[in-house]
Every structure is written in C-alpha cells, then in structure tokens.
Amino acid sequence: MQIEWKVAPSSQWQADALIFFVFQKPGDYPPGLKQFLDSSGKWLADSAALADFNGKPSEVALLYSPDGHPAPRIILAGLGPRERFEPERLRNASAFALRKCHELGVARPAFPLCALEGFPCPEAGSQEGTWALDSLLRETVTGALAGLHQFKLLKTRDLAAPPLPESLGILCTEPVEPSWRQSVEFAGSEAAGINLTRDLTISPANRVTPAFLAQTASEMAAKFGFRIDTIDLATARSMGLGAFAAVAAASEEPAYFIVLEHAPAGSENDPPLLLIGKGITFDSGGISLKPREKLEEMKQDMAGAAAVLGVFEAIGHSGLSKRVVGILPCTENMPGGKAYKPGDVLRSYSGQTIEIISTDAEGRLVLCDALAYGAKRFKPCLMVDIATLTGASIIALGREVAAIMGNSEELTGSIRKLGAALGERFWPLPLWDLFFDGLKSEVADMKNVSDRGAGAVCAAMFLKQFVPDQIPWAHLDIAGTAWTDKDTGFCRKGATGFGVRTLFELVKSR
C-alpha cells in the first residue's frame, strides 16, 4: 500500500473514504473532526449515525456522504476515553479503520492530517500538553500497514477477500513538512520489518528452517548491501562454538550461525551495535522432551532471530548510516542418538564449561556463544539479545510485558523508555549476583539451569557470564510477547513482531 500526500483546501479533499478518530464521550471530538463538522461535513454533524457512535476502542462506523461530496464514505474509528489516550490507541484505531476499508474493497482511503491534532499528552513527548504530530502520524501509518498484515501463504481455500487498499492518502491544507515525511518513511520501514518478523514467526517449522532463515538473511543482504556470513555446523564446531553445536547436534535440519552486518561507507571501523536473536526454529525440548500440550507453539522459538531480521529489514528500507551487526544462532532443538544429554559438560566459545541439567534450556546455550563470539569479534558499543527464553517470564509478567535485564541501567532504561512510547512494554527483573548461587556446578563452571526458582532471572544470570563487563548489554525475554491470542487491531492473533519497533528506534537513537 502506497502512502500519498495530498495538499488541497479541505473542501476539495478527495478519497474513496475519509477516516476520522473519535473519543469515547458524546460530542467530545478532536479539533480536526470539529472543523470538518463545521464546514463540508455539516450533514454528518446532524446525522444520528454520529450521535450513535460510541468511540470505544476497536469500534468502527461506516457512513455514506450525501451525493456530490468529494469523499463518498466517512469512516469513524474509536479511541476510547480521552483521558486514557495513548498513541497505541490511535495505532489500533487506524488498523481497524483500514481493515474496514479492506473488507469493503475501498481502494483509496485517506485521513486528514488535522484529524491527529489535539490529542492529550500528560507526559514527555508533548507539545503544550498534546502529542506531537510526528509521532501520531507514525502510529497511524504503522498501525495501518501492520494492521492489514495477514499470513495467508499456506492457505489454498477461502482466498476471495477483496484486494488490499492501493493507497492511504494523508490530506493537508499546508505544504508537507520534512519531519512529517520522515515519520511516514520510518513507519513504512518499521512496518516492513514487523510484517517480515510476523511472517517468519508464524510460519511452521517445516517452512522456516535454519536454512530458510539463512536464505532470508542472504536475500536481504543482496537487496540492501549488507555483509553476510552463514556459518554451518561443522565450521561452527571448528570455531569453538561448542554450546551452539551441542544444541544443534541431533537436528536433521542443517543449523546455521548467521552473522549479518550493515556497515555503510565510513562506519566500517566504528564499534557497532550488536543485536542477537534466538533462532530455535523448533524447540522440542530435546532429550528433556517437552509435554505434548501446545508443543506446536514451539515453532515460534525463533521470534528473537525473526525480530533481528525485522530490524535489519527496517534498517535496509530507511538507509541508516550506522554500523549494526546481527547474530542469529539458528537450529532446531531435537532429541536423537546424537543429541546432547542432561549431565553432559560443554565447552562454550568463551572457554567456560557448562553442565547440562536440562536440554530444554537450549536458548541460553545458543545465545551464550553468540554473545561471547560477538563481543570478541566485533567489540561492539552495546549488545542486546532478544529471545523467547523462559516460560517463567510469562508467569511473572504475562503476555503483554517483556522482561528486561542487563548490566547497564542506562541501556535498559533507554530501551524501556523507547518501548513505552511505541507500545512495547518492558519491565525489569533484578539481576543480582546472588542468583548465580543456583547455577553453581560440581563438575563444570556452571549449570545451565538453577533449581531455586526465578527462572527468567537465572537465565539472564547465565547469559551475563558471557558478556564482558565493559560492554553495555541488555537481555529481552519475549517468550510472552512474541505471540498473542487476542486481536488488538495493530496485530491479529498469532505472531506480534514484538521488539522490532523498539530495537529499530534504539539503533536510530544511538
């Protein structure tokens, strides 16, 4: 879907449907809608349909303009109560409005830019108590582009839906400001990333194999000029990536340790930002086999790797001028005659030895080698890993909040702040040294699982052993947030693409 700017007096705003956003309080209209009701939309001001519209989140109304109006349809999308307004509400409302257009086969919907004015903002990021237009514009466009996303590739039936809208118009009366254009460009970039991440994550493990992820990364590298290194299992083993190799040992699907690098001219020698994503394309638990219930959901155990690929897609689209490296350790975790076993002791890339208690705690093993390798080879200015790492993080924080831990409050704090503004919530858990006690081993430097609870923290504590102290590092546990069972508008049921927005913002802001 194209985004098209149109500058014209409001009486000449043409579109197949004109979209407005409405608070959940009778008569409490944002200024842009008020203006419309006072001018060319007088007919709407008097209609019962407007009075009947409640403005609840997810509520959408379709109204038909009287003959002769340049926009034959008006779509109202609910924002919920004014005092509870957050940009996330607008993102979802925009998504629901565009989905309505899709359902109806509306080819060229549009929204007036002034429809985003006057939204209350009690916190930072405000301009005289209202949200800056730039960020609301981005929410609206990202919401539209990601809200329309659906994964239908593997369906052969019931495909008779109308085509997607061809364009989304943005109507304004003044010349378009460069910062508005930039917001829309960022929205396009991040939505491309989010949608890629969702497609990869929702895809079954017999489609998205490690080789498929390597192929996706290679195509991206060719398209955007990234450097790429797809290290196969034999090479990984010979390089000393022993923890990664142990997890991959029983998989018939070839494993790949993928290194992707965006180093635009002039940045080649800068210390890069390093993003690491867990890429377990199916987690059976290995010899410590998981129970059968919901085992099909373990196809999503590569959501971290998919999020890193999504960030690179967004970087490629936006042409960022900074050096960024992505490391994706990708493999299945399977049982079998060659599988690693509880009780085995592995030698990791860092040289530290690990006693295996559970082969189902495999994510931290592939990540610990990626962290140590990435730190040594790239000497990054910061490292962030993102992983569907522990069921314990779901117990602690549920499905709408990801756990964040690390060795730098500056870094974890800024990730939390960036995420909060983008509808991605991160909450810290305490990464105190005492949590290492449960990881102490009789036979090796550490065990891969602690027996003292605090599962999400102990997993992070394990990872911390592989991060040099001087490199700021954050660990994002997205086991709960990578997947949703409820349709929010912005995201249908299934894979969410969680993390892409925040990490894209992080690489832009540093």
Contacts to ligand BES by CB under 6 A? 283, 301, 358, 360-363, 388-392, 449, 455, 479
Shortest reach from residue 426's CB to ligand BES, in Å: 17
Of 22-30, 297-305, 428-436, 501-509, which part binds Zn ion (CB under 5 A)?
A: 297-305
Q: Which residues of 72-81 are buried (b: 16+ CB within 10 A; e: fewer)?
A: bbbbbbbbbe
Report the alpha-carbon distance of residue 54 to residue 51 in Å, rounded. 8
Asked whether the CA dihedral 32, 35, 39, 45 is positive or negative, the reply is positive
For 50, the 3-state DSSP assignment is helix
Between 119 and 483, name the residue whose CB sits nearer to ligand BES. 483
Shortest reach from residue 308's CB to ligand BES, in Å: 17
Of 11-19, 168-176, 299-307, 399-407, which part binds Zn ion (CB under 5 A)?
A: 299-307
What separation, in Å, do the N-terminal and C-terminal C-alpha atoms of the chain show? 30
**Window 341 to 370, contacts with Zn ion (CB under 5 A):** 360, 362-363
Shortest reach from residue 397's CB to Zn ion, in Å: 17
Residue 479 contact, options Zn ion, ligand BES, none, Cβ 5-8 Å cut-off depending on partner type: ligand BES
Give catalytic status of residue 364 as yes or no.
yes
Report the alpha-carbon distance of residue 70 to residue 47 in Å, rounded. 18
Helix (H) or strand (E) holding 477: strand 473-477
Between 60 and 247, name the residue whose CB sits nearer to ligand BES. 247
Report the alpha-carbon distance of residue 176 to residue 422 in Å, rounded. 24
Between 325 and 454, name the residue whose CB sits nearer to ligand BES. 454
Shortest reach from residue 478's CB to ligand BES, in Å: 8
If binding is defined by CB under 5 A, does position 477 make contact with Zn ion?
no
Between 472 and 480, name the residue whose CB sits nearer to ligand BES. 480
Between 268 and 296, name the residue whose CB sits nearer to ligand BES. 296
Between 477 and 505, name the residue whose CB sits nearer to ligand BES. 477
Give catalytic status of residue 278 as yes or no.
no
Report the alpha-carbon distance of residue 147 to residue 60 in Å, rounded. 14
Q: Which two tokens stand for residue 103?
A: 């359902």
Report the alpha-carbon distance of residue 222 to residue 238 in Å, rounded. 27
Residue 391 contact, options ligand BES, Zn ion, none, Cβ 5-8 Å cut-off depending on partner type: ligand BES
Q: Spot the catalytic one: 34, 181, 207, 290.
A: 290
Q: Which two tokens stand for residue 346?
A: 């592995």
Q: Which two tokens stand for residue 370?
A: 């990626």
Site string for Zn ion, 265-284 (x = CB under 5 A): ---------------x--x-
Shortest reach from residue 407's CB to Zn ion, in Å: 23
Total binding residues toward Zn ion, as defined by CB under 5 A: 6
Between 363 and 497, name the residue whose CB sits nearer to ligand BES. 363
User: 40 φ, ψ to 5°?
Assistant: -75, -10
- DSSP state letters, 258-316: EEEEE--TT-TTSPPEEEEE-EEEEE--TTSPPPSTTGGGGGGTTHHHHHHHHHHHHHH
User: Pick from 111, 182, 95: which is nearest to 143 by CA?
Assistant: 95
Residue 390 contact, options Zn ion, ligand BES, none, Cβ 5-8 Å cut-off depending on partner type: ligand BES
Residue 392 contact, options ligand BES, Zn ion, none, Cβ 5-8 Å cut-off depending on partner type: ligand BES
Shortest reach from residue 289's CB to Zn ion, in Å: 10
> Are 50 and 33 in contact, with CB atoms under 8 Å apart?
no
Listed as own residue / partner, the contacts of 439-442 with beta carbons closer than 8 Å and 24 or more positions apart are 441/354, 441/355, 442/355
Shortest reach from residue 500's CB to ligand BES, in Å: 18
Q: Spot the catalytic one: 89, 364, 416, 464.
A: 364
Shortest reach from residue 360's CB to ligand BES, in Å: 4
Residue 455 contact, options Zn ion, ligand BES, none, Cβ 5-8 Å cut-off depending on partner type: ligand BES
Between 387 and 507, name the residue whose CB sits nearer to ligand BES. 387
How many CB atoms within 10 Å of residue 430? 10
> Are 50 and 41 in contact, with CB atoms under 8 Å apart?
no
Q: Which two tokens stand for residue 498?
A: 């969680």
Residue 471 contact, options ligand BES, Zn ion, none, Cβ 5-8 Å cut-off depending on partner type: none
Of 1-9, 170-178, 293-301, 374-382, which part binds Zn ion (CB under 5 A)?
A: 293-301
User: 264 φ, ψ to 5°?
Assistant: -60, 155
Selected from 253, 301, 355, 424, the binder of Zn ion by CB under 5 A is 301
Between 24 and 481, name the residue whose CB sits nearer to Zn ion. 481
CA distances in angstroms from 453 to 266, 349, 392, 395, 436, listed in the order given: 47, 27, 9, 12, 12
Residue 173, judged by CB atoms within 10 A of its CB (0-12, 13-18, 19+), counts as: middle
User: Pick from 89, 91, 88: which is nearest to 79 by CA?
Assistant: 89
Shortest reach from residue 298's CB to ligand BES, in Å: 6
Provide the annotated active-site residues.
290, 364
Interaction site with Zn ion (CB under 5 A): 280, 283, 301, 360, 362-363
